[in-house]
Structure 1
Amino acid sequence: GKTRYEGVGHIKNNILMVGPTGVGKTYLIKLIAKKIGVPFVKGDATKFSETGYVGGDVEDLVRDLVYEADGDIEMAQYGIIYIDEIDKIASSNHTIGPDVSRTGVQRALLKPMEETEVDLKVPHDPISQLEAIEHYRKTGKKEKRTINTKHILFIMSGAFNGLEEMVKKRLNREGIGFRAEIRSKDERAEYLKQVKAEDLIAFGFESEFIGRLPVTAIFERLEVEDLYAILKNPNNPIILGKKKDFKSYGIDIQFEEDALYELAVKAYEEKTGARGLVSAVEKVLLKFEKRLPSTGIKQLVVTCEVVKNPGQELERLLDDPMHPDRVARFEKLHSRERMDLKESILNREGEFRRRYGIAFPESRIDLIARRMVDKGYDVNTVFEEVVEVQRQVEEFEREFQQRNGIRLQFDGEAIDRVTDMALEEDLKGQVICSRLLKDYEHGIKLIRDRIGRREFVITKEAIDDPEEYLNRIIQEAYSRRFDLETEGKPR
């Protein structure tokens, strides 16, 4: 039966994204697909035009969606197909030859972009052939597996160099042009925001193709401030990745804000958008990554001077690695990073509570921020680790009660302590709990047998000093028993 409402005359809001390289088009769509929980595949339009049979590759993308959905056709039917460099399949209107294949690719996309059935079994795929043979052997029937593309969202993107000039010509004809050559990035973006279907047709697209892309999104080129904001983001994979690289050598690395800005300037000069950030960071730190692991130096502060003169600053570091100013700067940055991360997580605590279904006290958030700084992990990875250990502690409590008839409850600080130990030693929460309780499990059972007490709260003190905790609860138990016995005696 139908699983979702299907309106009459259903029109898909396929999207055309226009923008230069490195502005985050692919990254954005990947994040959206992950957030809404649908499969995502990416293709390159230039690859289609290189094949003899232009339709084959387009349908392969649809089949790839099923693969990404682990064979779940229902899930794949609501996936996202993202095709980059779509501007490369526009015909140039004044040449003969290659344009035939370009137009052919556009036409091959028409049906999937609207609605068609795609056969999942193809002659050139041996696995699908073997599956079909196995199905026939078991049932004696041929199996026809298809996927309908009606609800698959198609997103096309490209740089579209020169499109702004076509928009400008049209606007001038209509009497609303700027009457000047396009010079700045802002002017180019302003023209592109006025783009209409007729401009895209003039660029070299079939009208039927553009008609299936009702939504147009314009991406502007990233400026220095944009690149700087990316580097400052605590979940930025470029800085996190570099911290992990150095951490693998036992080296902690911190970046000053001036250094991040200088890196953004260098990246901007490469004219490749956010991709330039990776190159800029690598060029600055490559010498440090080669030399420092063999020196015993455990801390590195990336300053503006390091970014401008990496070779010179490396020699200065090697000459005096424990210079008081350098050490003080590192400690200040390390402490500030933890505080900033903690504040950022506290601001999102409600989001994490809804996601995982449990509350996170401030002490646990402090633990998460500390681990992010110490290990260079991203926030989601650390939350997953911490939540998993907490569930393991709860599982230990249940198993202990089933075995011994005693209800243990680890309080918040005790869970923090167990989590810290489990993550540091790379052990399960149950293993840590068993090891900690080994010292006084007998004492707890003794108290249960003597006075019938069946509930115990395990505190941080119980973990740090089990002997003292055990002595205290035994004394309390015997004192309570003595009080009960004296209450029962006649005066």
Structure 2
Amino acid sequence: MLEPTQYLTPAQIVAELDKYIIGQHDAKRNVAIALRNRWRRMHAAPDMQKEIVPNNILMIGATGVGKTEIARRLASIADAPFTKVEASKFTEVGYVGRDVESMVRDLVEQSVNMVKMRKKEEVKAQAVQVVEDIILDALIPPVSTAGSKPVADYSLDDNRIPDSDQELNERTREKFRLKIRSGELDDRKIDIKVQQTGSPGVGVMGPGIDEASMMNIQEMLNGLMPKKTKKRKVTIAEARKILLEEEAVKLIDMDEVKEEAIQKAENAGVIFIDEIDKVASSSNKAGGPDVSREGVQRDLLPIVEGSTVSTKYGVINTDHILFIAAGAFHVAKPSDLIPELQGRFPIRVELSSLTKEDFYRILKFPKNALTKQYEALLSAEDVELTFDDEALEKLAEIAFEVNNEVENIGARRLHTVVSRLLNDILFDVPDKIGANAHIQITKELVEERLSPMVKNRDLSQYIL
């Protein structure tokens, strides 16, 4: 079954996306429907579930208008494994780029990590108890039943005299257990045994070997080699972090994790293929780079259509993975893609260019707005940063103007403009601008620092 977060209705999904992304309502509606359809498929009649295929989406729009952010936030809302690839990575000279199946293997890896993290949280309480015992053993080793003298602290605040060394040891351990839990001993150093991470690389002589086979060989050799441990002297606080990770991994069933991760990737996975226009043939030449581009499309086709891919965690079927492709399509057109690939992306969404008003709203309203990010950065230095509304309007106007005159890179231009505005302030904190200071960004300050650069076209090309 899908996760509870995927029970959101299309309207609720759009409302969640609105918290982070300004505008692009059509694109949000379409991805919201695609996400809800996954829940609908999983609750359809069993004999129809395999027949219902996802409506893959092709997003068309200039750089910086929100294509990647929409796909990434969608996966986050759905708590779904998500991977982003650039189609141009598969078009190196002579077509020696990454194997197209690697995008599916990356998705499975992401899915395994997500499931493993959730499983670790489930066993965390149990792991904490085990780690506590390990740390306690390092501080106060338990005595044997033979009655040997314990290594313990005898100055106990207890009126009753212990019956045996073992009882004395147990009482001492309980006192130290309370101190460990309270953090009183966090700075004390102890010796612990930890597993050595990493294994030597494996080289294979002879003909080339594909990526999946290489991973399987590496995994097999890792399983055959004995696990090595080494002793480290660390503080109890550090030991708790190191050991908690190790013990949590021991408590989870990796076979169960792999099985659940494969199922999650197959039914909820999202693969975002960016720059797909770069592999579209813009002419009908008989040779040259267009041949390589068409080759990439034909290699992508079976993955998007639905096929089985071998990964180190098992075989995954791509029939129900949601593929979202995106491209600017300035030179090539969607119709320049091979017909079979076009047919696998039936939903077409054109994202509109951002206006000056959009820039203003991007700076002011999203939960992760750039202005809020800088306010959070300076708050770490106990410096309060605020922006006047008129200052935000001027920043939006400058970013829009530079995009029109130099090159349109969408909302990414705001990063350049705001960074240029605040550079001196960021440098002067905390040396010249101390704690508890309040910095107000006004329209006049924005004009003073940025307007000369905008007016100087040659300068703006290099700086803004």
Q: Give the TM-score normalised by the residue count of structure 2.
A: 0.51
Q: In the alignment, does 2:457 pair up with 1:288?
A: no
**8 Å contact 1:55–1:109 — kept in the other structure?**
no
Among 347, 351, 366, which residue is 1:215 paired with?
A: 347
State the partner residue of 1:45: 87
State the partner residue of 1:148: 317
**8 Å contact 2:42–2:49 — kept in the other structure?**
no
State the partner residue of 2:310: 119
State the partner residue of 1:399: none
The 5 A counterparts of 1:312-323 are: none
Letter in 2 for 1:103: E
Q: In the alignment, does 2:200 pair up with 1:200?
A: no
Question: In structure 1, what is the Cα distance between the partners aligned to 2:325 and 2:425?
Answer: 41
Among 392, 395, 415, which residue is 1:278 paired with?
A: 415
Q: Which has the larger radius of gyration?
A: 1
The 1:66/1:51 distance shift into structure 2, 3 A limit, reads farther
Question: In structure 2, what is the Cα distance between the partners aligned to 1:16 and 1:211?
Answer: 11
**Per-residue deviation, residues 78-118 of structure 1 (Å, max 9, x unmatched):** 20000111001011224322111100110011111111000
State the partner residue of 2:73: 31
The 5 A counterparts of 1:464-483 are: none
**8 Å contact 1:23–1:221 — kept in the other structure?**
yes
Question: In structure 2, what is the Cα distance between the partners aligned to 1:104 and 1:282?
Answer: 41
Among 430, 435, 442, which residue is 1:303 paired with?
A: 442
Q: In the alignment, does 2:276 pair up with 1:86?
A: yes
Q: In the alignment, does 2:273 pair up with 1:104?
A: no
Question: In structure 2, what is the Cα distance between the partners aligned to 1:252 and 1:258?
Answer: 18
The 1:225/1:42 distance shift into structure 2, 3 A limit, reads same
Question: In structure 1, what is the Cα distance between the partners aligned to 2:53 and 2:450?
Answer: 59
Question: In structure 2, what is the Cα distance between the partners aligned to 1:254 and 1:61?
Answer: 42
How far apart are 1:245 and its partner, in Å?
2.3
Among 389, 395, 416, which residue is 1:257 paired with?
A: 389
Letter in 2 for 1:207: P
**Per-residue deviation, residues 351-410 of structure 1 (Å, max 9, x unmatched):** xxxxxxxxxxxxxxxxxxxxxxxxxxxxxxxxxxxxxxxxxxxxxxxxxxxxxxxxxxxx
**Per-residue deviation, residues 129-174 of structure 1 (Å, max 9, x unmatched):** xxxxxxxxxxxxxxxx2000011011110000146xxxxxxxxxxx
SS state of the match for residue 294, structure 1? coil
Letter in 1 for 2:269: G
**8 Å contact 1:287–1:311 — kept in the other structure?**
no
Letter in 2 for 1:227: F
Alpha-carbon RMSD = 2.5
Among 159, 162, 178, which residue is 2:328 paired with?
A: 159
**8 Å contact 2:391–2:441 — kept in the other structure?**
yes
The 1:53/1:93 distance shift into structure 2, 3 A limit, reads closer
Among 377, 385, 397, which residue is 1:245 paired with?
A: 377
SS state of the match for residue 430, structure 2? helix
SS state of the match for residue 57, structure 1? coil
SS state of the match for residue 91, structure 1? coil
Question: In structure 2, what is the Cα distance between the partners aligned to 1:55 and 1:279?
Answer: 31
Name stretches of at least 5 consecutive residues in structure 1 with no aligned partner. Answer: 122-127, 129-144, 164-198, 313-491
Q: Which runs of 4+ in 1 moved over 3 A?
A: 1-11, 51-56
The 1:278/1:56 distance shift into structure 2, 3 A limit, reads closer
State the partner residue of 1:228: 360
Letter in 1 for 2:272: Y
SS state of the match for residue 422, structure 2? helix
SS state of the match for residue 345, structure 2? coil
State the partner residue of 1:12: 54
**8 Å contact 1:230–1:236 — kept in the other structure?**
no
Question: In structure 2, what is the Cα distance between the partners aligned to 1:310 and 1:56?
Answer: 45
Q: Give the TM-score normalised by the residue count of structure 1.
A: 0.48
Question: In structure 1, what is the Cα distance between the partners aligned to 2:277 and 2:364?
Answer: 33
Letter in 2 for 1:76: A
**8 Å contact 2:56–2:322 — kept in the other structure?**
yes
The 1:287/1:30 distance shift into structure 2, 3 A limit, reads same
Question: In structure 1, what is the Cα distance between the partners aligned to 2:296 and 2:91?
Answer: 6
Letter in 2 for 1:108: D
**Per-residue deviation, residues 258-304 of structure 1 (Å, max 9, x unmatched):** 00111111222232111011111111111122224222451100000
- Which is richer in helix? 1
Percent identity over the alignment? Answer: 40
The 1:46/1:119 distance shift into structure 2, 3 A limit, reads same
The 1:311/1:157 distance shift into structure 2, 3 A limit, reads closer
State the partner residue of 1:73: 262
Letter in 2 for 1:29: A
**8 Å contact 2:308–2:315 — kept in the other structure?**
yes
Question: In structure 2, what is the Cα distance between the partners aligned to 1:67 and 1:10?
Answer: 25
**Per-residue deviation, residues 19-42 of structure 1 (Å, max 9, x unmatched):** 000011111111111112211100
Name stretches of at least 5 consecutive residues in structure 2 with no aligned partner. Answer: 2-40, 113-257, 452-464
The 1:234/1:110 distance shift into structure 2, 3 A limit, reads closer
